[in-house]
């Protein structure tokens, strides 16, 4: 029988699963609201900042498969 994954592994898997969803929902909501209430220049800055942070989180939490034959053990 396989061992249950730890809480940290489950949390990381949930973050990996929800990161694309959060980014695709957050950017289109935050940017237009910022442009409307604060200004276009600030909205463009927020778009750049949020999309850069989202990209960094996506890279940080990505799960890459191991090449065949390289188990690392």
How confident is the prediction along the chain (73 residues), in pLDDT tens digits per residue? Answer: 555 667 877 787 777 778 788 888 888 999 999 999 999 999 999 999 988 988 888 887 776 666 776 655 5
Q: What per-residue confidence (pLDDT) applies to 8?
A: 79
Q: Tell me the C-alpha distance between 44 and 51, whole Å.
A: 11
Measure CA 5 to chain center: 21
Q: What are the structure tokens assigned to 26, written together?
A: 């957050």
What are the sequence ranges of the domains in the chain?
18-60
Q: Tell me the C-alpha distance between 28 and 45, whole Å.
A: 14
Q: What per-residue confidence (pLDDT) applies to 2?
A: 55
Closest CA relative to residue 27, chosen from 66, 4, 53, 56? 53
Q: What per-residue confidence (pLDDT) applies to 57?
A: 82
Q: What are the structure tokens assigned to 33, written together?
A: 């609201």
Count CB neighbours of 57 within 10 A: 16
pTM passes above 0.75: no
């Amino acid at each position: 029988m396989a061992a249950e994954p730890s809480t940290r592994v489950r949390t990381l898997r949930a973050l990996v699963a929800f990161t694309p969803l959060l980014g695709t929902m957050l950017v289109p909501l935050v940017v237009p609201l910022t442009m409307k209430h604060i200004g276009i220049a600030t909205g463009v800055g927020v778009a750049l900042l949020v999309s850069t942070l989202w990209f960094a989180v996506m890279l940080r939490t990505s799960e890459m498969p191991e090449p065949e034959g390289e188990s690392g053990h």
